[in-house]
Every structure is written in C-alpha cells, then in structure tokens.
Amino acid sequence: MWNNYLNLSVMNWLGQFTSMSAPFNQIVHYISGSDLFKGIPFMAILWYFWFRDTDPKSNTREIIIATLIGCVVAVFIARAANNMGAYQPRPFANAALPSHTYIGLAAPESQALYIWNSFPSDHATLFFSLATGIFLISRMSGSLLYLYTLIFIALPRVYLGLHYPTDILAGGLLGIACVALSTRASVVKLYGRRCDMLLNRYPAAFQAALFIITFEIATMFSDVRMLLEGIIKYFPR
C-alpha cells in the first residue's frame, strides 16, 4: 500500500519544492507529458541499433523484436493490475496526504486521473523494459537509458503526484522481468524463426509494420486507447 516509509519520506521531501518556482514546475510538467522526452528517444536508439547491426550473425534485431514483445506484454500486465488490483489513489488525489501547491500549474484536466489506480506505473513498466532491451545490446547505452528513465520519466511523475515511488519500483521490476524473459533463447524460439522468415521475405512490409508498432509504443498507445474507448462507448451497458 501507499502509506509506507519510503513513499511518505520521498513525497514529503519533494513537497518542499512544489511552491518554489512556477517555471520549474511548468518544465517538469512538460517533460512528463512530452513524447519528445519519453518514447521518441528510446525508439530512435532502437532504430539506430536496428540499422547499425545488419549482419545476420548479430542477434541485435532478434533482441529488439523480443524487447518490443516483452514491453507490450509488460504494459498489458500493468494495465490488468491497474484495473483488477486494489484501488490506490494517486498522491495528488489522496486526501490522507498533505496537499502540495504546484504554482504555475492548473489542476489536472482529466478527471479520470482521480479515479485511476496508481499501482503500478505503466510508464515505468514500459520505459524500464525498453532500457533493459537496449542494455542487452549495449551496456553503456542501456545504463544511460536506465538513468535517463529514472530522471526524466520516473522522477517527474513522482514529483507531480502522479505516482508513489513504490509504483515506479513495481513497474520497473515488471518491465525488466518481462524483457529478461522474452529475450531468453527458449522463448525466442517460439517466434524468432517466423519473424526472420517474414523479414527476409517481405523486408519493406515487415519494417513498415515494425515502425508503426514502435510509433504506438513511443506514444504510449494513445491512438489505440482512443480507438478502444470510442468503440466501448457504443456497447450497451
């Protein structure tokens, strides 16, 4: 649950900065919602390695495909946990926590944020899983992306009261575990040969489809979610 020492200590410590600088709050708010700081850098690096390591003897492309599969599975599990797990209010909507004033920022526009379960963080799940896949390709690049995820994706969401530290921790561990599993040789055998066949037979179509998939991942499946929400509205209740 949210009311543990780690969460309370971190939230109280960050709370002392929320009323100090409107420009700083606005910058953090922009970073937390900007794909330019979230998904796009990760996909740019994945595509860099995709085109850099074209040698059939290299397993880079195999790792990239396995990473994408693992991160999608991880996000699916995280969303299932959000919907089926015990409800935990986001910090900014938790009446049991001290109310922090974020000068320069308006109240959250989406009322859904007040009723969505905060545990675990799907942002942490997604981006730590992608960082793990890149770490398996390049230790240096992966380590830098772990640090980048912590500073530019996880920390802003805790600072703005969207998640507790334990939400981030749980999401990160879930993402890392799913990619660690999806990149195991025994798991890759389940789909690796078919992906290789499609890539070799239809290289243009395969990579175009892969680009669309990475675009949706980079934008946190925003278009897919909007489509599903629109379809659900037409179902009788």
- Chain segment 189-229, per-residue pLDDT in tens: 888 889 989 999 999 999 999 999 999 999 988 888 777 77
Domain boundaries, the chain: 41-47+61-95+121-237
Assess whether pLDDT exceeds 90 at residue 184. Answer: yes
Residue 110's pLDDT band (boundaries 50, 70, 90)? low
Mean pLDDT taken over the chain: 89
What is the arithmetic mean of pLDDT over 84-94? 85
Residue 96's pLDDT band (boundaries 50, 70, 90)? confident
Residue 48's pLDDT band (boundaries 50, 70, 90)? very high
Give residue-wise pLDDT tens across range 114-160.
778 889 999 999 999 999 999 999 999 999 999 999 999 999 999 99
Assess whether pLDDT exceeds 90 at residue 7. Answer: no
Assess whether pLDDT exceeds 60 at residue 237. Answer: no
Q: Report the alpha-carbon distance of residue 179 to residue 136 in Å, rounded.
A: 10
Least confident span in 15-19, 44-48, 74-78? 15-19
